[in-house]
Amino acid sequence: MTRSIINPAGLHTPTAYGYSHIVSAPGEQVFIAGQYGSDGNGHVVSGEFADQVAQAFANLRTALAAAGLGPADVVRVGTYIVGHDEEKLAVLLEELHATWGTELPAQTLIGVAALALPGMLFEIDAVAVRPA
């Protein structure tokens, strides 16, 4: 897929924060629902934030693969963190850079009081583009 990442002059360099300002790509959009640190039965895998982030990213990769896509096809993610703080941000940044390196998707991170199920600490949704 050919995706263009633009981090314009006049805006801060966002890669250290885990995202790009602008990502564009031609093709069909594919929307991936929020993935969380769940096992195959929908149960939260751990009470540890880092474990949930790792599992949520694994689940995201599984969902992308089922659509015939991979991380390189993702143009935008939304991330949701219960009790967001800098320690949790560091965990997320590590996973983001492990997945996308410096070619990061656009991202909005939202700190929240709670997510859909008790014990959920993290969730990620995505928009990918199937090459034209």
- Residue 1's pLDDT is 56
Sheet holding 27-36, edge to edge: 27-36, 122-131, 74-82, 106-112
- Number of Cβ within 10 Å of residue 43's Cβ equals 10
Distance CA 34, CA 115 (A): 10
CA–CA distance, 105 with 108 (Å, rounded to integer): 10
Q: Is the pLDDT of residue 3 over 90?
A: no
125 lies in some domain: yes
| Domain-located, residue 9 | no
Residue 127 has pLDDT above 60, yes or no: yes
- Would you say residue 60 lies in a domain? yes
pLDDT tens, 15-41? Answer: 998 999 999 888 999 999 999 999 999
Residue 121 is assigned to a structural domain of this protein? yes
Question: What is the pLDDT, as a whole number, of residue 36?
Answer: 97
Q: Report if residue 5 sits inside a domain.
A: no
Please give the mean pLDDT across all residues of the chain: 95
Query: How many domains are there within the chain?
Result: 1
pLDDT tens-digit series, residues 49-98: 999 999 999 999 999 999 999 999 999 999 999 999 999 999 999 999 99
Place of tokens 């790792």: 54
In terms of residue numbers, what domain contains 88? 27-131
Collapsing DSSP to helix, strand or coil, 120 comes out as coil
As a whole-number percent, the residues of the chain with pLDDT over 70 amount to 99
For 29, list phi and psi in degrees, rounded to 5.
-80, 140
| Cβ contacts of 61 within 8 Å, gap of 6 or more | 70, 71
Alpha-carbon span 109 to 9, nearest angstrom = 22
The domain that holds 62 is classified in CATH as 3.30.1330.40
